[in-house]
């Protein structure tokens, strides 16, 4: 199998927004309790936050962390989570059939983001919550002081405002599973009033309105059109969500990027249709604020309890490769996808896994996420690519290998992310750094293996792990690499003076 990729400095897709490397922590399963917070664990700091988890999050260089949900959001009263801990109510979280102790609320989560070098992507409840609750939360978080809610924040230990810039207005409101689920017009009108009220409280914030829960919903993309028509003046982003799972055909699963690409294009078209309809100069950007591999159809009945073990995926190498294809697709749409949240971050469909009273470890998807987060910053270029196709049952003939190229002018580096989705053939690939002058490859890592079902476990934390590959010489701006069958590759070039 063959591919060639010609990279031209001037062919720019766009600047990558740091927020493309964001994630998500919901009050769900063991994401919060025994995930980020476990006062009894010897690994925890004086505030009860697990230091091992903090270190692993830092290594990922996560930008925003969406909080507190997710489906949880739609039955959550943020006022339950502030003030003295012993006075906070214990509630039923009906979204996930869980006991919510409210030991962690917005103040503690803010402290955690300071420790991890991340920022909160806030979210307001549009299910059981009112627009008043939404505006009050913005006042609590962002108003400097001298008002009821801002003074309460100060009394609760935070003199300085949190200055949370990005806010999701509800979550997946067209999903029948969502508490307070509504039709597009009802949501659009409420979201518009909430966003307006929140912006009247702090005009510097940016808002994300709910798109349809996912592309397979019957309501998609008509829901998105209606919501945007209702919210255009006060919305900055529309959210989209997509999870993929292997339904038994590895080739279709590895081709998930193709489906994701199509979803993004349709969502952009929907935004631009409403822009045209409104005769507006304003462009709405996409917040892909939930993306990952997730085996959703597992039944996980459990009693009412705090922090149940639910949605705890153990990712295989094959999952990580598919995930890499999704990451490449996000990068290649960096001109319109300005926020993307790997859902989620700890224990719940997550790259980081903890054991209570023990340590934490990386899951297979940790590696491709870390690669794009560390080396995917700069300008995405739009190279000329020729690649042999492969036939998939679901999507027909599509390229067997996919690429994203990022030019970091400041560091004088070009990074090529490459996924060979063929399970049977290596891909002979020519990389042509057309007009970058004198360059040299200085880094090449590969994630692959004979057993695509391999999974990292507590006992075998190296079961899936990238390896360094031998550096290849660049001659006359060109170099030839062999991308192993079913492999994720990160190849970096230094531009020499």
Q: Which residues bind ligand AHR (CB under 6 A)?
A: 26, 69-71, 171-172, 290, 343-344
Q: Could you please report the per-residue DSSP string of 32-68?
A: TBTTTB-TTSTTB-TTSBBHHHHHHHHHHT--EEE-S
Q: Which residue is nearest to ligand AHR (CB)?
A: 70
Minimum distance, C-beta of residue 467 to ligand AHR, in the bound complex (Å): 31
- Of 38, 100, 108, 172, catalytic: 172
- Of 290, 313, 413, 446, catalytic: 290
Give first-to-last CA distance, the chain, whole Å.
34
For the packed helices 106-116 and 51-60, what is the interaxial angle rounded to 10 degrees?
60
Q: Quick check: is 203 catalytic? A: no
Nearer to ligand AHR, 344 or 415 (CB): 344
Contacts of 216 (CB under 8 A, 6+ apart): none
Contact, 49 vs 346, CB < 8 A? no
Minimum distance, C-beta of residue 339 to ligand AHR, in the bound complex (Å): 15
Nearer to ligand AHR, 3 or 213 (CB): 213
Minimum distance, C-beta of residue 185 to ligand AHR, in the bound complex (Å): 21
Residue 238 CA to residue 210 CA, distance in Å, equals: 6
Give Cα separations from 253 to 11, 191, 260, 318, 454 (angstroms): 30, 35, 12, 9, 16
Nearer to ligand AHR, 194 or 343 (CB): 343
Minimum distance, C-beta of residue 456 to ligand AHR, in the bound complex (Å): 21
Residue 5 CA to residue 143 CA, distance in Å, equals: 50
Q: Could you please report the per-residue DSSP string of 134-170?
A: HHHHHHHHH--SSSHHHHHHHHTT--S-----EEEES
Q: Quick check: is 172 catalytic? A: yes
Nearer to ligand AHR, 3 or 348 (CB): 348
Place of tokens 């004979």: 450
Nearer to ligand AHR, 171 or 219 (CB): 171
Contacts of 4 (CB under 8 A, 6+ apart): 385, 386, 387, 429, 430, 431, 432
Catalytically active residues, by annotation? 172, 290
């Amino acid at each position: 199998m063959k591919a060639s990729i010609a990279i031209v400095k001037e062919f720019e897709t766009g600047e990558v927004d740091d927020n493309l490397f964001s994630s998500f922590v919901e009050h769900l399963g063991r994401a919060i309790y025994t995930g980020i917070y476990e006062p009894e664990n010897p690994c925890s700091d004086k505030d009860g936050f697990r230091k091992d988890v903090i270190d692993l999050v830092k290594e990922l260089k996560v930008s925003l962390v969406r909080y507190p949900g997710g489906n949880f959001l739609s039955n959550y009263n943020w006022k339950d989570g502030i003030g003295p801990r012993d006075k906070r109510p214990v509630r039923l979280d009906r979204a996930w059939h869980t006991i919510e102790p409210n030991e962690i609320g917005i103040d503690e989560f803010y402290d955690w983001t300071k420790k991890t070098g991340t920022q909160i992507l806030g979210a307001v409840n549009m299910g059981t919550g009112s627009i008043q609750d939404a505006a009050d939360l913005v006042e609590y978080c962002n108003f400097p002081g001298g008002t009821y809610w801002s003074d309460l924040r100060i009394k609760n230990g935070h003199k300085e405002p949190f200055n949370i810039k990005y806010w999701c207005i509800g979550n997946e409101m067209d999903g029948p599973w969502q508490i307070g689920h509504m039709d597009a017009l009802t949501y659009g009108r409420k979201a518009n009033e909430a966003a307006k009220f929140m912006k009247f409280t702090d005009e510097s914030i940016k808002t994300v309105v709910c798109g349809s829960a996912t592309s397979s919903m019957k309501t998609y993309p008509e829901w998105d059109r209606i919501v945007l028509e209702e919210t255009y003046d006060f919305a900055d982003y529309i959210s989209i969500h997509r999870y993929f799972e292997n339904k038994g055909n590895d080739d279709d699963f590895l081709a998930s990027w193709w489906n994701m690409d199509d979803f993004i294009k349709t969502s952009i078209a929907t935004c631009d249709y409403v822009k045209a309809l409104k005769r507006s100069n304003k462009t709405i950007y996409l917040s892909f604020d939930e993306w990952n591999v997730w085996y959703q159809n597992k039944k996980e009945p459990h009693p009412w309890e705090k922090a149940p073990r639910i949605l705890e995926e153990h990712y295989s190498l094959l999952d990580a490769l598919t995930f890499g294809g999704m990451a490449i697709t996000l990068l290649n749409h960096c001109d319109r996808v300005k926020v993307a949240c790997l859902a989620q971050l700890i224990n719940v469909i997550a790259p980081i896994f903890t054991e209570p009273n023990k340590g934490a470890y990386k899951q297979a998807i940790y590696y491709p996420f870390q690669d794009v987060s560390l080396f995917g910053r700069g300008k995405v270029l739009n190279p000329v690519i020729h690649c042999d196709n492969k036939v998939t049952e679901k999507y027909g003939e599509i390229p067997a290998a996919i690429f994203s190229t990022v030019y970091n002018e400041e560091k004088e580096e070009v990074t090529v992310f490459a996924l060979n989705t063929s399970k049977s053939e290596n891909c002979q690939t020519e990389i042509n750094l057309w007009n970058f002058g004198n360059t040299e490859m200085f880094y090449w890592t590969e994630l692959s293996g004979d057993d695509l079902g391999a999974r990292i476990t507590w006992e075998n934390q190296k079961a899936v792990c990238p390896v360094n590959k031998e550096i290849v010489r660049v001659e006359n701006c060109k170099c030839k690499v062999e991308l192993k069958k079913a492999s994720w590759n990160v190849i970096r070039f230094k531009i020499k003076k």
